[in-house]
Amino acid sequence: MFVSLRAGLFVRVLVVVAVVAGVLAVLLSTAVAPRATEERDFGPPPINSKLAGAPPTSQYRVEGTGGAGLNLRACPDLGCVRVGKLGEGKPFTVECWQKGTAVSGDVRWFSGDAAGTKGFASGHFLRRHSGTHAAECGMPEAVLG
């Protein structure tokens, strides 16, 4: 059997089918594709075999305190408890840095160890002596050399 439709009715049916197909395509694509605002866990960062074990460290020295020395603090803030003091020219073994209270415009506070005492020291008074530049805490090792 052959059913004949008028041209106008045929065009209307095609338009309705196309609209329904378009709406279904949009609904299915948003249901399957991840949203840009969703956080996705990509797992831990790859481990460089040279860095396995202890975190990389750099040697810094205290400079620019005018002989007064540098306070070592429990956190990267001037209001944190003082856990030690570093004399002018003394070494500070740095693991990483993070942002904290600005000291003369420098917001970097280095986390590390000085003669067995762990704490944070203001980056304004530290100069790299050896090793690579310290990386931001939680970031891969810096490759600045």
Instruction: Please list the pLDDT of the chain residue by residue as tens digits (145 residues).
Output: 456 657 777 788 888 888 888 888 777 766 554 444 444 444 444 444 344 455 567 888 899 888 888 999 999 998 999 999 999 999 888 888 899 989 989 899 999 988 888 999 999 998 887 766 788 887 765 444 3
| Domain ranges within the chain, ordered by starting residue | 49-136
3-state secondary structure of 75: coil
Both tokens assigned to 142: 């810096």
Q: What angle do CA 86, 89, 92 make, to 5 degrees?
A: 55
Distance separating alpha carbons of residues 3 and 22, to the nearest angstrom: 27
* pLDDT given at position 145: 39
Reading phi first (left if > 0) and then psi (alpha if -120 to 50, else beta), residue 66 is in left
CATH topology of domain 49-136: SH3 type barrels. (2.30.30)
Distance separating alpha carbons of residues 56 and 12, to the nearest angstrom: 70
* pLDDT given at position 83: 93
User: Residue 134: is it exposed, middle or buried by C-beta count within 10 angstroms (0-12/13-18/19+)?
Assistant: buried
Residues with Cβ within 8 Å of residue 143, at least 6 apart in sequence? 132
Q: Which of 100, 45, 102 is nearest to 111 (CA)?
A: 100
Please give the DSSP secondary-structure letter assigned to residue 135: E
